[in-house]
Chains A and B, each alone.
Chain A
């Protein structure tokens, strides 16, 4: 068993466990902390996939900025007390059954994929370049420059929208 496989299983088990924590925890703060752990383990999986830039962004933007926003809102609304125990309603049972069916279909289809390794990894120069900030930045600022600028506009609109929606009086 290679070190990569061991790391993959450790991270995969931790991701599934912390994602389960997000769903099961009755306290919203516990859910949020579980989600932060999930994002950190996902960053580990991204490094295994040679996506170092995205792994760094995952920790900075997701585990840092977005989760701080979530925690801030949870504390602002003071939702620390747990709600009543969840009732077993028909819509919930239907949702759980539907999700289990989707999972079975997806995993059944994915297990039939051939277990071959990509062919381009014999090119050592490309392997060393792949996923670095230099390579990702080069593609982003040449080929995808316009979508990148559009995203900055989207973030501006989101900021203005959030202020307009959340402010009681403008």
Chain B
């Protein structure tokens, strides 16, 4: 078996890639996908520490994150559909009524 820090560094890289996508992409759907990447990085960290400590609670946390991600995707995509119907675009730079 290999050291836990390898998995933690992989999770950090994955989280930063998700964060980069959220910050630079302008398509709302791609931003959602990048949020899923960040949630998966959190999952990977939980599982790495679960193996480090020999504790199944980390697996339960990962399970809950997957369930919450499913709920988030359902509601978020419903909002995207609703916004697209009202504005005809999913570009987050053109949706700025709530800015200022």
Question: Residues of A at under 8 Å CB distance from B?
Answer: 2, 4-5, 8, 12, 15-16, 19-20, 22-23, 28, 31-32, 35, 38-39, 42, 45-46, 49-51, 53-54, 57-58, 61-62, 65-66, 69-70, 73-74, 76-77, 79, 83, 86, 91-92, 95-96, 98-100, 102-103, 106-107, 110-111, 113, 115-118, 120-121, 123, 126, 130-131, 135-136, 139-140, 143-144, 147, 151, 154-155, 157-159, 161-163, 165-166, 168
Give the A-binding residues of B (Cβ under 8 A).
Answer: 1-10, 12-21, 23-27, 29-30, 32-34, 36-37, 40, 43-44, 47-48, 50-54, 56-57, 59-60, 62-64, 66-75, 77-82, 84-85, 90-91
Partner of B2, one of A4, A16, A65, A147: A4
For the complex, what is the distance from the CA of A107 to the CA of B14, rounded to whole Å?
A: 12
| Shortest CB distance A47–B (Å) | 10
B59 touches A54 (CB 8 A): yes
Pair B16/A69 contact, Cβ less than 8 Å: no
Give me 18 other A-B pairs in contact (C-beta within 8 A), A57-B66, A162-B78 excluded: A32-B33, A39-B40, A49-B50, A51-B50, A66-B36, A69-B73, A73-B29, A73-B81, A74-B29, A83-B27, A96-B23, A115-B3, A118-B54, A130-B51, A135-B56, A154-B71, A165-B75, A166-B81
Please indicate the chain A residues that have their CB under 8 angstroms from the CB of B9 in the complex: 106-107, 110-111
B44→A76 contact, CB < 8 A: no
Cβ of B37 and Cβ of A19 under 8 Å apart?
Answer: yes
Collect the chain A residues with CB atoms within 8 Å of residue B15's CB.
106
Given contacts A120-B54, A166-B78, contact A99 B63 (CB under 8 A): no
Contact A168 B85, beta carbon cutoff 8 Å = yes
Looking at the complex, which one of B7, B36, B81, B85 makes contact with A49 (CB distance below 8 Å)?
Answer: B7
